[in-house]
Amino acid sequence: MPYKAEISRTSPSCFLFLIDQSGSMSDPFSAATGKAKADALADGINKLLQNLVIKCTKSEGVRDYYEIGVIGYGGNKGVGPAFLGALEKQDLVPLSKVANSPARVEDRVKKIDDGAGGLIDQTIKFPVWFDSIADNGTPMCEGLRYAQRVLQDWVGRHQPCYPPTVINISDGEAGDGDPEPIAQAITQMSTSDGNVLLFNCHVSSHAAAPIQYPDREDALPDQFAKALFRMSSILPSGLLDAARSEGFAVSDRSRGFVFNAELVDLIRFLDIGTRPSNLR
């Protein structure tokens, strides 16, 4: 069965995040929060990186189960690595290096249960590796081509390993052509354990209900959502189990795609997409 390779320090896997940084990402994520899409996305990615570090921390330190990349497309820098600080301009970084190199650590306030039915504010430390950007057009095709070049090198060096997972997050249409052929080329790359996985999150401004992990495109409201659905990989069995455990109604044909997710659903999508259970 594919997607069963043990993930270890000697046989790592890879996560590559593709982030739409176009001008429309300055639009509100939802009416409820008023937070810009770019800001909500940056918080989600930074929180996910922190969770990956925690998950892979053992008594001796952070184990390099993964190599991590964050690639931005759009914005004032075009297409390329989006890490800040000491990791700037690096395509893929071992997880231990991510853990040791946040660009800064901010004090954030979150609500917690006070034990008496109420909520109180608690200040927490929030490491930041990636900032929000929202400017210019949406060169998604160029972003996917960049990812393809990065992953061609990685799979060539890691053939026995669990294949890379690419998570593309965008709010709409590619501004530089048809992304589907490039997405297909990415998902045709493989290790001996399976093809590269490509998941997509469509943070649309379309006034439509959220759709998570569909197995057909009929209910999607526009051609851009349907294209991102077709670009998305079918969920392997382990991630189907993860989606079911979170209460999602999925089938064996469900794809790694969500449409119009709220912030909590976006974070759950990212978590499910990064949840192989075969760590050693």
What pLDDT shows up at residue 260? 83
Please provide the DSSP assignment of 144-162 as one string.
HHHHHHHHHHHHHH-TTSP
Residue 112: strand pairing partners: 120
What pLDDT shows up at residue 19? 93
What pLDDT shows up at residue 171? 82
CA-based nearest residue to 125, from 139, 109, 147, 111: 109
Question: In which element (H, E) is residue 122 found?
Answer: strand 119-128
Phi, psi of 162 (to 5 degrees): -55, 130
The pTM of this model reads 0.91
Handedness of CA 109, 124, 94, 277 (dihedral sign): negative
Handedness of CA 211, 242, 100, 18 (dihedral sign): negative
Tokens of 160: 């026995």
The amino acid occupying position 18 is: L
pLDDT at 70 over 90: yes
Mean pLDDT of 231-256: 92
What pLDDT shows up at residue 216? 95
What pLDDT shows up at residue 209? 81
Domains and CATH numbers, the chain: 13-273 (3.40.50.410)
Q: Give the C-alpha distances (Å, rounded to integers) separating 197 from 102, 185, 239.
A: 27, 11, 11
Of 119-128, 174-183, 209-218, the least confident? 119-128
What pLDDT shows up at residue 162? 94
Decide if 174 contacts 141 (C-beta within 8 A). yes
pLDDT at 261 over 90: no
Q: Which residues contact 248 (CB under 8 A, 6 or more apart)?
A: 212, 213
Q: What percent of the chain has pLDDT over 70?
A: 94
Give the tens place of pLDDT for each residue, 93-112: 999 999 999 999 999 887 77
Distance CA 203, CA 217 (A): 16
Mean pLDDT of 125-139: 91
Give the tens place of pLDDT for each residue, 6-44: 999 999 999 999 999 988 888 877 655 668 889 988 988
DSSP 8-state class, residue 36:
B
- What is the three-class DSSP state of 244? helix
Decide if 266 contacts 256 (C-beta within 8 A). no
Give the tens place of pLDDT for each residue, 213-227: 999 999 898 888 999
Decide if 113 contacts 15 (C-beta within 8 A). no
Q: Which residues contact 181 (CB under 8 A, 6 or more apart)?
A: none
Mean pLDDT of the chain: 89
- What is the three-class DSSP state of 163? coil
Distance CA 175, CA 193 (A): 34
pLDDT at 49 over 90: yes
